[in-house]
Structure 1
Amino acid sequence: MSTVRPLVLILENDADLAAILVRTFGEQGFEAQSVGLVRDFERRLAQVRPAICIVDMSLPDGAGFEVIARRLKSEAIPAIAISGVWTDVSYRVLGLEMGADDYLLKPIDPRELVARVRAVLRRVEGAAGAEDNIVRFSGWTADFHGHRLIAPNGDEIDLSASEVRLLRALASRPQRVQTRETLMEGDETAGNIAFDRSIDVRISRLRAKLREDPRNPLIIKTVYGAGYMFAPAVEWSRGG
């Protein structure tokens, strides 16, 4: 009986690197396909739904950040950004803020990239496979399977895969201080960028979606010198 191999779709205009990655992923139990242009990537996404995408940040006909933010984030497809040009910490933080699940600098060790892909997929599958998929707090509803927030007034707000994982981690331990290390446990992006800056950016993004006053947040509170605390009481239920 054949086993379905997770599809990795690679957007990389360096043909030699793309060929190496396709071969390595194939040897490691994945199906891998590569394209070198944004327009070809968009066409392929209309035909298949990959388990994860690898996206170069510098492309001949567009920017990888835009691809992640505009297409992959909206469709809740995990993505790992790679770059040999945009190496400054500010760019790497921007990549995460735009919705990337990880950011890896070139030159790339293909084996490390495979390990990072597996780590991201484990986190995504863990969030999707949890028994309780709906959490309610302070008039809000978070639907983790649907990757959305429902505001008290009924507005629906999309969540990226990384935002789902972070909000689930926070809501799983209400009224308890969690360190940055705990919230980012198992997240390999910590090895790539300034650790504190990474989690703070993600917290700020979640607060904005929860319409929090950044000067006086009531849901995700900062505990200075310690970490963060999810303040409201929560009610979990099983989604459909």
Structure 2
Amino acid sequence: MTKPLITILDDEPAIRTMLSEALEDAGYDTQSFARAAEFEAALRRSTPDVCLVDLGLPDRDGLSLVHRLALEQGATVIIISGRAQVQDKITGLELGADDYIIKPFDPAEVVARVRARLRTRAIPAPTGQTARFNGWTAHFDRYTLQDETGAETPFSHAEGEVLRLFLESPNRLITRDYMQDTLGGAAGDSFDRAMDVRISRLRTKLREDPKNPRLIKTIYGAGYIFLGDVTWT
């Protein structure tokens, strides 16, 4: 059985070594890179299951790389960064990252977060790869939303997880606790903020009125309801 491949992009040798050892002890294969150029060259040869990406890279801004990984390749991306400001977290999540871990960290936490993301991706899709609803078509095989004119807007893997969750349970309350259990990730304020960012971006891509959204309704103190008729193929 092939082991999941985890790539590590960080310019600090000690961190690369620490993460590689912890992940390999947990049963994963790893590849480590100090520069974005080396990392991108490797992506053309193999596709990792999870990418661990530092934002402070010597040859490129890590945020732009996260954006490309999430939108163009649908990769699972976990940011590992010394940037602890709330705005940095929001920006990383908005650009498509699935999770955000602040340095310094316990390697066991990183392993747990990686395991959670892999568990989420391993859940079989019971309802197909294409969903049609309210004039929209969501293509989960290529991570795009298509409107009635045929114009397409890409969405990230992280946004796609939330969208699929809504489309598989239309007209039903989706609680925060259920989202946490289903999607994984860190509990508490970090998870809530990540969901807020992803839902906000989905509303924008669905051209929702932020003051009165038609499709993704917030039920304050409870969760969300997706209002729509959904057909899967």
TM-score by length of 2: 0.92
Distance 1:155 1:65 in 2: 26
1:124 to 121, 125, 128: 121
2:214 is aligned with 1:218: yes
> Match for residue 144 of structure 1?
140
Opposite residue 70 of structure 1, the aligned amino acid is R
Opposite residue 96 of structure 1, the aligned amino acid is L
> Match for residue 204 of structure 1?
200
SS in 1 for 2:109: helix
> Match for residue 48 of structure 1?
46
How big is the shift at 1:152?
1.5
Distance 2:117 2:152 in 1: 25
How big is the shift at 1:216?
2.2
CA contact (8 A) 1:220 1:230 kept: yes
Distance 2:70 2:138 in 1: 20
CA contact (8 A) 1:170 1:183 kept: no
Opposite residue 140 of structure 2, the aligned amino acid is F
CA contact (8 A) 2:5 2:28 kept: yes
> Match for residue 176 of structure 2?
180
> Match for residue 160 of structure 1?
156
> Match for residue 224 of structure 2?
228
Opposite residue 187 of structure 2, the aligned amino acid is A
CA contact (8 A) 1:190 1:198 kept: no
Identity of aligned residues (%): 41
Residues 163-196 of structure 1: CA distance to partner in whole angstroms, max 9, x if unpaired?
11101111222112222332233422334x4443
Distance 2:218 2:127 in 1: 29
CA contact (8 A) 2:71 2:143 kept: no
Distance 1:166 1:99 in 2: 12
CA contact (8 A) 1:68 1:99 kept: yes
Structure 2 unaligned residues grouped into runs of 5+: none
Distance 1:194 1:116 in 2: 13
Residues 27-65 of structure 1: CA distance to partner in whole angstroms, max 9, x if unpaired?
222110111111211212122211110001111222221
SS in 2 for 1:54: strand
Distance 1:18 1:130 in 2: 37
1:135 to 120, 128, 131: 131
CA contact (8 A) 1:52 1:77 kept: yes
CA contact (8 A) 1:8 1:30 kept: yes
CA contact (8 A) 2:185 2:191 kept: no
Distance 1:129 1:135 in 2: 12
CA contact (8 A) 2:74 2:156 kept: yes
How big is the shift at 1:131?
4.2
2:121 is aligned with 1:97: no
TM-score by length of 1: 0.89
Matched residue pairs, number? 232
RMSD of the TM alignment (CA)?
1.8
How big is the shift at 1:21?
1.2
How big is the shift at 1:73?
2.9
Distance 1:125 1:158 in 2: 22
1:110 to 107, 112, 118: 107
How big is the shift at 1:119?
0.8
Structure 1 unaligned residues grouped into runs of 5+: none
Distance 2:90 2:205 in 1: 18
User: Which stretch has the larger CA shift, 144-153 or 101-110?
Assistant: 144-153
SS in 1 for 2:187: helix
CA contact (8 A) 1:184 1:199 kept: no
SS in 1 for 2:32: strand
